[in-house]
Structure 1
Amino acid sequence: MARHDARNVPARMIGLLFFAASILLRHGTSGQRVKVEPELASYPGQTVNLRCAFPDPTGIQLTMVTWIYEPKDGERMNIAVFHPSYGPNYPESQMKGRVTFKPSPPELSSPSIEISDVRMTDEGRYVCEYATYPDGNEQGITQLVMLAKPVNSATTVAEVAGTKPVVVARCESRDGRPAAKIRWVTTAKGNWTETSKTGADNTVTVTSEYRLAPTPTDNAKDLTCLVNHRTQLKDESLPLKLTIRYPPMVEIEGYDNNWYLGRTNVGLLCKANANPVAHTVQWTTMTGQMPDTVLPKENELKVLKVDNSVNTTFVCEVKNSIGTTREQITIHVREPSKTDSNAGVVAGAVIGSLLALLLVAALVTVLVARSRRQQQGYRANGGSDMKTRIFGGGKKASKNGTSGGTGSGGVAGGNNNGPVYIDRSPNQGLGEKNNHHQPFTMGARPEVVTGTPTAQDILLSNELDEAERRKFDEMEDEERYDHFAGGGPILQLRPPPNPDDMIGDYMDDDMESQRDGSVISRTAVYV
Structure 2
Amino acid sequence: MARHDARNWHDCTKMIGLLSLVTSVIMHGAAGQRVKVEPEVLSYPGQSVNLRCAFTDATGIQLTMVTWIYEPKEGDRINIAVFHPNFQPNYPDSPVKGRVSFTTSPPNLASPSIQITDVKMTDEGKYICEYATYPSGNEQGITFLVMLAKPRNSASIVTVVAGTKPAVVARCESADGRPAAQISWVTTANGNATTGSKLAGDNTVTVTSEYRMVPTAADNGKDISCVVTHRTQTKAESFKLKLAVEYPPQVTIVGYDNNWYVGRTNVVLTCEATANPMPLHVTWKTLTGEMPETVVINQKTLTVLKVDESVNNTFVCEVKNRLGVGKDQVTAMVREPSVNSSNAGVVAGAVIGSLLALLLVAALIAVLVTRNRRQQQGYRANGGKDMKSRIFGGGKKASKNGTGGGAGSGGIGGGNNNGPIYVYSENSAHQGLAEKNNHHQPLTMGGRPEVVATTPTAQDILLSNELDEAERRKFDELEEEEERYDHFAGGAPILQLRPPHDQDDMIGGYLDDDMESQRDGSVISRTAVYV
Give the secondary structure class of the aligned counterpart of 1:291.
Answer: coil
Query: Retained in 1: the 8 A contact 2:47–2:118?
Result: yes
1:278 aligns with 2:298: no
Amino acid of the structure 2 residue aligned with 1:355: S
1:351 matched residue in structure 2: 350
How many pairs were matched up?
Answer: 437
* Distance in structure 2 (CA, Å) of the matches to 1:154 and 1:416: 119
CA positional deviation for 1:184: 0.9
Hey, what does 1:97 align to over in structure 2? 98
Following TM superposition, by how much is the alpha carbon of 1:334 offset from its aligned partner in structure 2, in angstroms?
4.9
Which deviates more, 143-152 or 366-375? Answer: 366-375
Structure with the higher helix share, 1 or 2: 2
Q: Report deviation, 1:50.
A: 0.7
Quote the residue 1:26 is aligned against: 27
The alpha-carbon distance between structure 1 residues 31 and 416, as it changes in their structure 2 partners (threshold 3 A), is closer
Indicate the residue corresponding to 1:39 in structure 2: 40
Output the CA distance in 2 between the equivalents of 1:114 and 1:218: 56
Secondary structure, aligned partner of 1:14: helix
Which residue is equivalent to 2:359? 360
Q: Shift of residue 235 of structure 1?
A: 1.5
Q: Distance in 1 between matches of 2:296 and 2:91?
A: 94
1:120-131 correspondence to structure 2 within 5 Å = 120-131=121-132
Aligned twin of 2:428: none
1:227 is matched with 228
Residue in 2 aligned with 1:506? none
Determine whether 1:246 maps to 2:266: no
The answer on whether the counterparts of 1:34 and 1:53 sit within 8 Å (CA) in structure 2 is: yes
SS in 1 for 2:112: strand
Query: What per-residue deviation string (whole Å, max 9, x for no partner) do you get for residues 279-322 of structure 1?
Result: 21001223332233333221112223444443433221111233
- Does structure 1 residue 477 correspond to structure 2 residue 483? no
| C-alpha spacing 1:163/1:125, structure 2 compared with 1 (3 Å) | same
Q: Which moved more, 1:185-194 or 1:291-300?
A: 291-300
Deviation at 1:18, TM superposition (A): 1.7
Amino acid at match of 2:330: I
Q: 1:101-146 deviations in whole A, cap 9, x for unaligned?
A: 1221111122111122322222111111222334433222110111
| Code of the aligned partner of 1:144 | L
The residue type equivalent to 1:20 in the other structure is L
In structure 1, the partner of 2:53 is: 52
Aligned to 1:157: 158
Q: 1:204 is matched with which residue?
A: 205
Partner of 2:519: none
Cα distance in 1 between the residues matched to 2:202 and 2:303: 70
- Which string of whole-angstrom CA distances, capped at 9 and with x for unpartnered residues, describes residues 25-63 of structure 1? 333233333221111112223321111122223444322
Contact residue 168 and residue 212 of structure 2 kept, 8 A: yes
Residue 73 in structure 1 maps to residue 74 in structure 2 = yes
Q: Which moved more, 1:125-134 or 1:260-269?
A: 260-269
3-state DSSP of counterpart to 1:106: coil
Q: By how many angstroms is 1:479 displaced?
A: 7.4
- Mapped to 1, the partners of 2:499 and 2:148 lie a distance apart of 138
Question: Structure 1's 351 and 515: CA in aligned 2 closer, same or farther, altered over 3 A?
Answer: farther
Equivalent AA in structure 1 for residue 130 of structure 2: E
SS at match of 2:197: strand
Relative distance call for 1:307 and 1:409 in structure 2 (3 A) is closer
Distance 2:197 2:164 in 1: 28
Q: Distance in 1 between matches of 2:360 and 2:309?
A: 51
CA RMSD of aligned residues (A): 4.5
- For 1:417 and 1:86, locate their aligned partners in 2 and report how far apart those are by CA, in whole Å: 167
Distance 2:326 2:115 in 1: 73
Q: Distance in 1 between matches of 2:422 and 2:347?
A: 68
Q: What is the aligned partner in structure 2 of residue 336 from structure 1?
A: 336
Residue 114 (structure 1) aligned with residue 106 (structure 2): no
Letter in 2 for 1:362: V
Alignment match, 1:170: 171
Cα distance change on mapping 1:137 and 1:167 into 2, 3 Å: same
Q: Which moved more, 1:198-207 or 1:244-253?
A: 198-207
Q: Write the letter of the residue equivalent to 2:355.
A: A
Provide closer, same or farther for how the CA distance between residues 99 and 417 of structure 1 changes in structure 2, counting only shifts above 3 A.
closer
The residue type paired with residue 215 of structure 2 is P
1:365 offset after TM fit, Å? Answer: 4.7
Asked if the contact 1:373–1:456 (Cα under 8 Å) also holds between the matched residues in 2, the reply is: no
Cα distance per residue 1:234-270 (max 9 Å; x no partner): 2222222222222211112223344445544334221
Distance 1:238 1:393, change over 3 A: same
Question: 1:313-348: per-residue Cα shift (whole Å, max 9, x none)?
Answer: 3221111233322223334x35527x7666776655
Equivalents in 1 of 2:51, 2:397: separation in Å?
Answer: 153
Structure-2 separation of matches of 1:115 and 1:356: 109
Deviation readout 1:369-409 (Å, 9 max, x if unpaired): 799999999xxx9xxx9xx969x979xxxx94635894466
Equivalent residue number for residue 296 of structure 1:
297
Give 2:85's aligned residue.
84
Counterpart in 1 of 2:510? none
Structure 1 residue 477: Cα displacement: 0.5
CA distance in 2, matches of 1:126, 1:422: 145
**Conserved? CA contact 2:151–2:176, under 8 Å:** yes
CA distance in 2, matches of 1:416, 1:243: 111
Describe the SS at the equivalent of 1:201. Answer: coil
TM-score by length of 1: 0.70
Deviations 1:348-383 (A, max 9, x none): 543332232223333555677799999999xxx9xx
Q: Percent same amino acid at aligned positions? A: 52
C-alpha spacing 1:258/1:365, structure 2 compared with 1 (3 Å):
closer
Distance 2:21 2:357 in 1: 127
In structure 2, what is the Cα distance between the partners aligned to 1:417 and 1:126? Answer: 147
Instruction: Report the AA paired with residue 126 of structure 1.
Output: Y
